[in-house]
Amino acid sequence: MDKERMAQLRESFHRSKIMTLFKAVPTGMAKGYFEISVPKQDFMLRPAGMFNGSTMATLVDVSAGYVAASAKPSESYLTTVELKVNYLTPAVGEMLVARAQVVKNGRILMVVRSDIFTVSNGKETLVATSLVTLMRLALKAPDVQID
Amino acid sequence: MDKERMAQLRESFHRSKIMTLFKAVPTGMAKGYFEISVPKQDFMLRPAGMFNGSTMATLVDVSAGYVAASAKPSESYLTTVELKVNYLTPAVGEMLVARAQVVKNGRILMVVRSDIFTVSNGKETLVATSLVTLMRLALKAPDVQID
Amino acid sequence: MDKERMAQLRESFHRSKIMTLFKAVPTGMAKGYFEISVPKQDFMLRPAGMFNGSTMATLVDVSAGYVAASAKPSESYLTTVELKVNYLTPAVGEMLVARAQVVKNGRILMVVRSDIFTVSNGKETLVATSLVTLMRLALKAPDVQID
Amino acid sequence: MDKERMAQLRESFHRSKIMTLFKAVPTGMAKGYFEISVPKQDFMLRPAGMFNGSTMATLVDVSAGYVAASAKPSESYLTTVELKVNYLTPAVGEMLVARAQVVKNGRILMVVRSDIFTVSNGKETLVATSLVTLMRLALKAPDVQID
């Protein structure tokens, strides 16, 4: 990924209100790879203390959007077509890390996998996996999903 | 649904930190049906102004959990096994409404559908649909997903 | 659906080698609705005698393709983008019926739901539900999926 | 995987009527890994000549079942809970190969990924990927899905 594109994505990430709310940090970025790290906050947890499914689904969606953007020229407009998450094990830990990679970089449609890990005492556990389809709309298109 | 169970779910909803953050209101509740309404907030939006996919996925997950709970006795412990959302059209509006219903009420596994609507000038539009699988764990079980 | 389009779909169905193998019959057809009925055959069954998941996934895929075609002009070329099936209960019966309807008829992407029923002694049971995304390619396009 | 278990799976595969119909061969087998190879036949093809989605969904389902079985003791009874396939590119080739691996080997639920490749002139292309959830039922249980 060229430096300009990387700077654009980083800037977009820092402007994102939902990522700000999550105190999320983009901890890895390359063409076709995007990693997001998120510290534990109360609203992310189930009563029993593990991360809830909504928080993990949010990280899947956001990491998928950024990894797809990382593989396309800057003027692309991307929208999520569908998203599927499998929750694998109780998500116990101090931090969540989402690691997204492009499975298929089509001209119109893209398929992405994002894996979600918890970090607990420095040890990582895979807690969810996913498949996401995104669509690339025409340059600077108005915000249109699917239609 | 008996009154006691309904009160339990309502109480649980009001204790939920993520629903509090979303300013969400449980606007419909019956055995096998659960509806959540959410007013627009900045962190829920894409730059172009429509609701983002993460917000809709969160409503799918939460409404699925509550509708599954509505169909089970109070001592059930439920966890999301997997979740799949199809985004249908740009989610433009002042409010999101999630309407979840039980498709299959199995002893161990449950399948739920949650439809997401935007409300704009009193008009509703279906903007996403979903299928969610949940698992019922033993009574008062520790918070265990899948394992 | 006009008569010409209906005749085209019926003809296409009867030419389909997989539907011939399945001894499948198109038992319902309208714009945005398609129904397929299939009698039990040995290769469709699990050892314990119920229909297997592969047979139901095939009916989901085929019924989704036809219902999408029913909602588009004749020169459309459609391809399945992704398919998700939830199996709900053991599929016991003499016959399978797939009932597909269009959830979203977008210009490029379409979302379809197909429900699968068994018929046993005249009684129907919902045994699987699904969501399918399809893509419409340009007129008479070469057979291109996603790319 | 011990030799007895491997022999059981191989025998079960050769008894399978749908795999016989597909002229499928189990070309790889280990604990947590299962590979199936299938030569092209007319009923597997779209009119334009590539493999159809139903054939690939069938290979996903069957390979997922066998890989799950490979990771469990012989007396397990497994059933597919849900299956999701992303079709990535036109499936052109002389042969399909499904490669399934266990992502999560839970006590009750298992999550599997199966990747589908075409082989054309000795060159492989990834044409579909998937996620499948399976459930393990009690020993020698009657054939019960989800319920």
- d(Cα A125, Cα D109) in Å, to the nearest integer? 17
Q: What is the per-residue pLDDT for B138?
A: 65
Tell me which residue of C34, C39, C9, C12 sits closest to C24, measured CA to CA. Answer: C39
- What is the pLDDT at residue A56? 98
Would you state the pLDDT for residue D138?
A: 65
Residue D15 to residue C45: CA distance in whole angstroms: 12
In terms of Cα–Cα distance, which of A8, A146, A34, A18 is closest to A81? A146
Tell whether the model's pLDDT for residue D145 goes beyond 80: no
Q: pLDDT by residue (tens digit) across A91-110? A: 999 999 999 999 999 999 99
Q: Is D73 in CB contact (< 8 Å) with chain B?
A: no
Chain A: partners with 3+ C-beta pairs within 8 Å:
B, C, D
Of A71-80, A85-94, D50-59, D137-146, the range with the lowest mean pLDDT is D137-146
Q: Which of C80, C142, C146 sits opposite D89 (nearest CB)?
A: C146
Which residue among A84, A109, A131 places its CB closest to the CB of C146?
A109
Higher local confidence (pLDDT), B95 or B137: B95
Span A76-96, mean pLDDT? 96
Three-state secondary-structure class, residue D75: coil
d(CA B67, CA B54): 20
CB–CB contact D133 A86 (8 Å)? yes
Residue D48's CB is within 10 A of a number of other CB atoms, namely 13
The verdict on a CB contact (< 8 Å) between D113 and A129 is yes
A108 contacts in C (CB within 8 Å)? 108, 135, 146-147
- Residue by residue, DSSP assigns A91-110 as --SSEEEEEEEEEEE-SSEE
The pLDDT value recorded for residue A14 is 96
Q: How many CB atoms lie within 10 A of CB A23?
A: 11
CATH number of C3-138: 3.10.129.10
The mean pLDDT value for B73-83 works out to: 90
Residue located via tokens 């692309």: A76
pLDDT digits (tens, 9 = 90+) for D72-96: 987 788 999 999 999 999 999 999 9
Whether the CB of B103 is below 8 Å from some CB of chain C: the reply is yes
* Chain B interface, best mutation among C131, C132, C135, by max B CB count within 10 A: C131
By Cβ distance, the residue of C86, C104, C106 closest to B111 is C86
Residue D111 at interface with chain A, using a CB cutoff of 8 Å: yes
Amino acid at C89: T
Q: Is residue A142's pLDDT more than 80?
A: no
Of the candidates D138, D136, D18, the residue with the CA atom closest to the CA atom of residue D70: D136
Tokens of A104: 């298929």
pLDDT per residue as tens, chain C (147 positions): 789 999 999 999 999 999 999 999 999 999 999 999 999 999 999 999 999 999 999 999 999 999 999 999 877 889 999 999 999 999 999 999 999 999 999 999 999 999 999 999 999 999 999 999 999 986 444 443 333
Interface contacts A/B by beta carbons within 8 Å:
113
* Pairwise CA distance, residues A36 & D32, whole Å: 29
State which amino acid sits at residue D25.
V
Return the residue matching tokens 């036109």: D90
Q: Is the dihedral of CA B100, B106, B108, B109 positive or negative?
A: negative
Cα–Cα separations (whole angstroms), residue D13 to B54, C46, D10, D22, D27: 42, 12, 5, 12, 11
Determine the residue type at D43.
F
Distance CA B122, CA A67 (A): 37
Render the burial of B44-72: b for 16+ CB within 10 Å, e for the rest: bbbeeebbbbbbbbbbbbbbbbbbbbbbb
Looking at every residue in chain B, the average pLDDT score rounds to 92
Instruction: Determine contact, residues D106/B147, Cβ cutoff 8 Å.
Output: yes
Instruction: Give the pLDDT mean for D111-140.
Output: 93
Q: Which residues are D86's β-sheet partners?
A: C82, D129
Cβ atoms within 10 Å of A113's Cβ, excluding its own? 22
Give the percent of chain B with pLDDT over 70. 93
Could you write out the three-class secondary structure of B23-50? CCEEEEEECCEEEEEEECCHHHECCCCC
Q: Tokens representing D9?
A: 């799976």
Pairing mode, strands D77-87 and D33-39: unpaired
Best residue in A86, A109, A136 for a mutation probing chain C (most C CBs within 10 Å): A109
How close does chain A come to C147, measured CA to CA in Å? Answer: 5
Tens digit of pLDDT for each residue in A16-65?
999 999 999 999 999 999 999 999 999 999 999 999 999 999 999 999 99
Chain A from 1 to 60: CB within 8 A of any D CB: none
Q: Is the pLDDT of residue A143 over 70?
A: no
Nearest to B100 by CA among B74, B135, B134, B123: B134
- Alpha-carbon distance of B57 to A52, in angstroms, equals 12
Residue D147 has a pLDDT of 38
Percent of chain A topping pLDDT 90:
86
A56: Cβ contacts below 8 Å, ≥ 6 apart = A85, A87, A91, A96, A116, A127, A128
Does C78 contact A at CB distance below 8 Å? no
D chain contacts of residue C58, beta-carbon cutoff 8 Å: 54, 57-58
Please give, one letter per residue, the 3-state secondary structure of C64-132: HHHHHHHCCCCCCEEEEEEEEEEECCCCCCCEEEEEEEEEEECCCEEEEEEEEEEEECCEEEEEEEEEE
Q: What is the mean pLDDT of chain A?
A: 92
Q: What sign does the CA torsion over B17, B19, B24, B29 have?
A: negative
Chain A residues closer than 8 Å to C109 by CB: 81, 135, 146
Q: In A, which residues are within 8 Å of B20 by CB distance?
A: 43
Chain D, nearest residue to A125 by Cα: D104
Domain range list for chain B: 3-138
CA-based nearest residue in chain B for residue C130:
B131
Residue A119 has pLDDT above 90, yes or no: yes
Mean pLDDT for A65-94 is: 94
Give the mean pLDDT of D106-122.
96
Considering only CA atoms, which of D10, D48, D46 is closest in space to residue D29? D10
Question: At residue A100, what are phi and psi to the nearest 5 degrees?
Answer: -110, 140
Distance from C-alpha of B37 to C-alpha of A96, rounded to nearest angstrom: 28
Tokens for A4? 């300009």
Q: Do D143 and C90 touch (CB under 8 A)?
A: yes
Contacts of A51 in chain B (CB under 8 A): none
Interval D5-32: pLDDT, tens: 999 999 999 999 999 999 999 999 999 9
